[in-house]
Amino acid sequence: MRPRPVQSIASDALAYGAVHLDVTDLERSLVFWRDLIGMTVLGSEEDGAVRLGVVEGEAKVELVVLHPGATQPVQRGYSALYHLAIHTPSEAEFARVLGRLFAARYPNAPTDHVTHWATYLDDPDGINVEIVFETIDRVDEVSIVGGRPQILDSEGRHHAMTEPLDLEEVFSFKADEEISGPLPAGCRIGHIHLYVGDLDAARSFYQEVGFTPNMNGDAIGFADLSLGGSFPHRIAVNVWQGIRAPQAPEGTAGMKHFELFDPKAEGGPRELVDPSGNRLIVSPPA
């Protein structure tokens, strides 16, 4: 059995909380995150922020918090969020979200990373989102060949890190024609990917936070880190927006900060800033 997100994070040293996003038009963003992606509105704050996620019985699991007030969309050439990844709990649920995107004719890019199925899309402000189903059971070995990642799968075949997704296989898991309805219980923020201005400094910083080196892609300006569990890709950093890329100007849409829960944390939340200016808040588990 392939582990579901809740199972795959069980042995991780840290766990993601919500990713907080600055957006230019709250109602327009809600149409994307609530109606298209399928998140449930869990509540709102006095400052107008809206909390979204999934409902699991009596529990509410926050995935994204939208903060209104940004004055311009995402800008390129800066250290910032590359994408946040929502990991789905089954092949069928991944197929259902993908079917909803296709039915809405919303631009997206289905991709097979071998470690996971994925599709990528932008919200109305240009914030990139990855929808994921983990397939780590297909992986035998990951290596760097000629400066680029290469995967040997469990059947002895070689793959590039990025290949077209077999949509026929994906949709074979779809139980019925129903594509509406909210994201189900078991969805989690499974990883994030950041643009940074200094690869070595970012890698060292996130190791100090609690991440573990997984893949060294220095040849392509990329580093991948895990959290010690079964899924290797928990945070990635790259310099693809430029060496020493600064933070975007005030008022730019994008990531405000992301949350991490640390079972070893003592006291209240700690706000940290990585060497490129990306912000995170580390707290004890709720």
Is 147's pLDDT higher than 80? no
Number of domains in the chain: 1
Domain that holds residue 149: 5-283
Residue 267 scores a pLDDT above 70: yes
- Give the CA count within 13 Å in the CB-facing half-sphere of 21: 33
Within the chain, where are the H helices? 5-8, 26-30, 91-103, 167-172, 199-209
Can you tell me the distance from the alpha carbon of 207 to that of 205, in angstroms, rounded to the nearest whole number?
A: 5
- 3-state SS assignment for residue 219: helix
Is the pLDDT score of 150 beyond 90?
no
Residue 219: the pLDDT is 87
**CA–CA distance, 151 with 22 (Å, rounded to integer):** 36
Q: If pLDDT is split at 50, 70 and 90, which confidence band does 89 have?
A: very high
> Contact at 8 Å (CB) between 220 and 237?
no
For 160-185, give the secondary structure using H, E and C.
Answer: ECCEECCHHHHHHCCCCCCCCCCCCC
Classified as helix, coil or strand, 243 is coil
pLDDT (0 to 100) of residue 213 = 92
- What is the average pLDDT across 128-148? 89
For residue 177, what pLDDT band results from cuts at 50, 70 and 90? Answer: confident
Q: Is 131 helix (H, G, I), strand (E, B) or coil?
A: strand
Whole-structure pTM value: 0.96
Q: What does the block give as tokens for 20? A: 């907080």
Could you read off the pLDDT of 211-232 as tens digits, one per residue?
Answer: 999 888 898 999 999 999 889 9
CA–CA dist 105, 92 (Å, integer): 20
Could you tell me the pLDDT band of residue 127, with boundaries at 50, 70 and 90? Answer: very high
CATH number for 86: 3.10.180.10
DSSP letter at 37?
Answer: I
- 233-242 tens-digit pLDDT: 999 999 999 9
Average pLDDT, the chain: 95
pLDDT in tens, 19-63: 999 999 999 999 999 999 999 999 999 899 999 999 999 999 999
Please give the average per-residue pLDDT across 181-202, as a whole number: 97
How many CB atoms within 10 Å of residue 124?
Answer: 15
The two tokens of residue 266 are 């003592």
Taking a C-beta distance cutoff of 8 angstroms, is the pair 12, 225 a contact?
A: no
**Residue percentage of the chain with pLDDT more than 90:** 84
Residue pair 214/232 in contact (Cβ under 8 Å)? The answer is yes
What pLDDT score was predicted for residue 1?
65
Strand 235-238 with 188-195, pairing:
parallel
14: CB partners within 8 A, 6+ apart: 209, 210, 211, 227, 260, 261, 262, 282
Averaged over 141-146, what is the pLDDT? 82
91-102 pLDDT tens trace: 999 999 999 999
